[in-house]
Structure 1
Amino acid sequence: MRLSTGFVRASGYAHKVRRVLFAVTRGKVEPKEVVRAAGELNQRIFEKLRELGVEKSDVVRITVPFSIKEGTIEWDYDGLEIEVYRKSEEENLARAMEEVEERERELEERIKELEELVLNLRETSEQMLEKLEELKQEHTSLRLRAEE
């Protein structure tokens, strides 16, 4: 298997690694293991970024192969690749990243809106079921009274 962050600002790589790893391993390993493995990888990436003199505003793309053995994520650090696009050298990429980040924020906002709608629908559905049960009970008691 392979983890790939896509383009991300260096300041946000750790969050992206964790999110991507959760997505790639969903249902294959325990969440606790994902957190552990992401932390381990992020530490290694941090050291590499420091060695490369990467600035927080630079853009990086990180890929690393891994395997899952007995519920444990094992990184192939020999295959770790970090592409660096320096803001000072890549103004166009930096502008593109700003667009990507804006779209991600918009997507997260829309997801939150949908989650709220789902919760409201669930609540409304439960209220409708309660009213329906009340009507059934009233109808049944009316029928019983009519039969008396």
Structure 2
Amino acid sequence: MRLSTGFVRASGYARKVRRVLFAIAGGKVPPQEIVRAAGELNRFIFERFQEMGVEKGDVVRISVPFAISEGGIRWDYDGLKIEVYRKSEEEKLAKAMEEVEEREKALEEAIAELSTLAQKLRELSEEIEEKIERIKAEHTGLKLRFEE
């Protein structure tokens, strides 16, 4: 089995671990074992957060395999994965996304202008073709009158 918190602020990871573990293991092991196992995992994660320099405002996603045996929960700490999305990076990402959105908007506006220009060129081209046809018809008509 695997516990996965999904995205959560580092400040709220412990509560999320406990809630997810109750959802997964509830009815399979006694509630006091879930509380004990969640506390054990949360202490381990907290130590890892300190080693990694995780701050309260950072966003994390935690997943860890575990087994239920003889009424207890055993964590596979070797399989623990902690993804960290730093708040400072989040701000940089938000600014980069703003820039991308602004460039996309500018691109859309340029495409709209070019589409309008292309339409005008098509209309002008059709108008020129009509004048050419009219001139040809008049020229042919002149020949025929002259030949008479």
1:81 counterpart = 2:94:
no
Residues 1-148 of structure 1: matches in 2 within 5 Å? 1-91=1-91
Q: 1:54 to 1:33 in 2, by over 3 A?
A: same
Normalized against structure 2, the TM-score is what? 0.61
Q: CA deviation at 1:45?
A: 0.1
Q: Note the residue ranges of structure 1 that are not aligned, 5 or more in a row.
A: 95-148
Q: CA deviation at 1:90?
A: 1.4
Q: CA deviation at 1:9?
A: 0.2
Q: Note the residue ranges of structure 2 that are not aligned, 5 or more in a row.
A: 95-148
Measured in 2, the distance between the counterparts of 1:17 and 1:92 equals: 28
SS in structure 1 at match of 2:64:
strand
Equivalent pairs, count: 94
Measured in 2, the distance between the counterparts of 1:62 and 1:89 equals: 18
Normalized against structure 1, the TM-score is what? 0.61
Measured in 1, the distance between the counterparts of 2:55 and 2:72 equals: 32
Amino acid at match of 1:36: R
Percentage identity across paired residues of the two chains: 78
Measured in 2, the distance between the counterparts of 1:85 and 1:62 equals: 12
Q: 1:93 to 1:12 in 2, by over 3 A?
A: farther
Larger Rg: 2
